[in-house]
């Protein structure tokens, strides 16, 4: 399509100029690398130990979230929750006599940006621990930098697809057994026999729907269709038609934003009468779905109207102190998990009597909180996952949630291959 004419003198001149620039760039690169290597070796020589902070000196808590990019709204919530929790801990005397300070790093909703941000937290700022990550790709990208090579405690505070059992990594969000199992159990108990599974084509929806399939078949139901749409497919009307044609009793959907709203709207508008369930519905996401959110079923570790005095008063305080994130304290934005992450780490540090990663890592294994937003939580030894209080919820057209049932504490997820 585009032809470069070699005989054209102006193009030749351009090329000469380009070659010169390239040579200059190479030179710059080489000198840059040299300086970099020198700088690196000097940091390695003088790298201070994070193990024993001076008495009373502040402790840095690494907060890694997406302040920019697609998940910026989640980042806004995460940052406010982290600040709220840290302020609360500092007001009650800090941790082992040390005040906490937030060290915020922007993951940019992209794994490469998150990796650099995590590296800064661990290698330059020498934070005591890192809490964060919004999407699973961020966790997968940064866990090596923080936990494995960085030898720093990493708390992953998100509802996710399961199977994270790396050493020094602790999962404080809900796992498929806590979200999917009770949802499917409820649908089966409601007399739903046939299921259609629909999701975006990547790791999280595929793993969640694999669990749904397993649960449905084990419970005597049947799967009448399973379909994945590419993340860049802007119009899922074909999938909508398949769902309507299959006419299953229930639709379990994990089509992620921005596809969620058009998909659900398409299915509802086309006359689908079955129940729609999923893992990503609550007060945070419902407003993005609109009035079609009416009747969506799901299970989360927290909903606004849960009957828990501690949660109610804490969230009220949060909304008052952080008006910029008012209404963003929701389960799908991982707010309750962020809150408990910092408190669980505090409990582990106090139990270990030290900020040393190895000691805190050992203590984490069995810490628990008698109260937290959403209800009491605790690590079950050897699982790296929490025993969590879960709730069955139904979305309303105005974006709010109705809690159908409090499910109590659900036992933690078990890694199939523990690497710890």
Partner 1 sequence: MSPSVIRGIFDVFSLTSILVLLVLGMAIIVGMMKVFNMCQGEFVLLGAGTAYLSYQYFGSVLLGILLAPVVVGFFGLVLERTVIHRFYANPQGALLATFAIGLVIRETVQTRMAAQSSLVPAPISSSVNIGGAVLPIWRIVIMIVTLVLALTIALVLLKTSVGLKIRATLDNPELVASSGISTKWMYAWTYALGAALAGFAGAMIVPLQTLYPNLGYENLIPMFIAVMIGGLGQFAGPIAGAALIAIPGGVLSQFINPVSSQILVLCFAIVFMRFRPMGIFQRGR
Q: Which is nearer to partner 1, 32 or 287 (CB)?
A: 287
Task: Report residue 386: phi and psi, to 5°.
Answer: -95, 150
Interaction of residue 2 with partner 1, rule CB under 8 A? yes
Q: Which is nearer to partner 1, 88 or 226 (CB)?
A: 226
Q: Out of 201, 350, 356, 365, point to the residue binding partner 1 (CB under 8 A).
A: 201
**Binding window for partner 1 (CB under 8 A); candidates: 283-291, 361-369, 373-381, 409-417:** 283-291
Peptide bond into 263 cis (omega under 30): no
Q: Out of 5, 55, 234, 416, point to the residue binding partner 1 (CB under 8 A).
A: 234
Q: Which is nearer to partner 1, 241 or 419 (CB)?
A: 241
- Encoded tokens for 303: 């909903």
Interaction of residue 210 with partner 1, rule CB under 8 A? no
CB 286 within 8 A of CB 246: no
Binders of partner 1 in range 236-255 (CB under 8 A): 236-239, 241-242, 244-245
Binders of partner 1 in range 43-102 (CB under 8 A): 68-73
Q: Residue 95 carries which DSSP code?
A: B
CB 56 → partner 1: shortest distance, Å?
A: 39
Interaction of residue 33 with partner 1, rule CB under 8 A? no
Give burial (CB, 10 Å; 0-12/13-18/19+) of 273.
exposed
Interaction of residue 335 with partner 1, rule CB under 8 A? no
CB 229 → partner 1: shortest distance, Å?
A: 5
Interaction of residue 185 with partner 1, rule CB under 8 A? no
Q: Out of 230, 305, 327, 382, point to the residue binding partner 1 (CB under 8 A).
A: 230
CB 286 → partner 1: shortest distance, Å?
A: 11
CB 133 → partner 1: shortest distance, Å?
A: 16
Interaction of residue 233 with partner 1, rule CB under 8 A? yes
Chain positions contacting partner 1, by CB under 8 A:
2, 68-73, 201, 227-230, 232-239, 241-242, 244-245, 257-258, 261-262, 266, 269-271, 287-290
């Amino acid at each position: 399509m585009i032809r470069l004419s070699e005989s054209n003198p102006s193009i030749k001149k351009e090329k000469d100029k380009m070659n010169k620039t390239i040579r200059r760039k190479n030179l710059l690169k080489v000198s840059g690398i040299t300086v970099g290597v020198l700088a690196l070796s000097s940091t390695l020589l003088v790298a201070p130990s994070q193990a024993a902070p001076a008495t009373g000196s502040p402790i840095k808590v690494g907060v890694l979230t997406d302040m920019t990019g697609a998940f910026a709204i989640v980042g806004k919530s995460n940052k406010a929750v982290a600040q709220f929790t840290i302020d609360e801990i500092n007001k009650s005397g800090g941790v082992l006599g040390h005040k906490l300070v937030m060290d915020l790093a922007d993951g940019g909703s992209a794994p490469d940006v998150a990796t650099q941000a995590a590296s800064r937290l661990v290698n330059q700022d020498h934070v005591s621990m890192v809490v964060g990550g919004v999407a699973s790709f961020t966790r997968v990208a940064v866990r090596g930098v923080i936990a494995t090579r960085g030898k720093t405690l990493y708390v992953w505070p998100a509802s996710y697809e399961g199977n994270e059992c790396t050493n020094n990594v602790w999962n404080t969000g809900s796992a498929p057994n806590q979200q999917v199992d009770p949802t499917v159990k409820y649908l089966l108990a409601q007399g739903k026999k046939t299921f259609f599974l629909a999701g975006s084509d990547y790791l999280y929806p595929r793993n969640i729907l694999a669990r749904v399939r397993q649960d449905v078949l084990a419970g005597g139901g049947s799967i009448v269709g399973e379909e994945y749409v590419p993340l860049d497919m802007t119009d899922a009307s074909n999938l909508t038609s398949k769902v309507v044609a299959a006419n299953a009793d229930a639709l379990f959907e994990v089509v992620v934003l921005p596809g969620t709203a058009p998909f659900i709207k398409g299915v509802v508008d086309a006359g689908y009468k079955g129940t729609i369930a999923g893992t990503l519905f609550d007060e945070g996401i419902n407003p993005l779905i609109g009035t079609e959110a009416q009747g969506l079923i799901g299970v989360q570790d927290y909903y606004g109207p849960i009957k828990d005095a501690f949660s109610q008063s804490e969230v009220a305080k949060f909304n008052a102190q952080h008006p910029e994130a008012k209404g963003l304290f929701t389960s799908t934005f991982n707010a309750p998990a962020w809150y408990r992450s910092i408190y669980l780490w505090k409990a582990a540090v106090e139990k270990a009597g030290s900020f040393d990663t190895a000691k805190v890592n050992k203590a984490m294994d069995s810490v628990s909180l008698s109260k937290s937003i959403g209800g009491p939580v605790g690590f079950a030894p050897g699982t790296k996952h929490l025993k969590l209080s879960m709730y069955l919820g139904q979305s309303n057209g105005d974006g709010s949630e109705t809690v159908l049932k409090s499910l109590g504490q659900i036992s933690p997820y078990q890694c199939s291959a523990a690497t710890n």
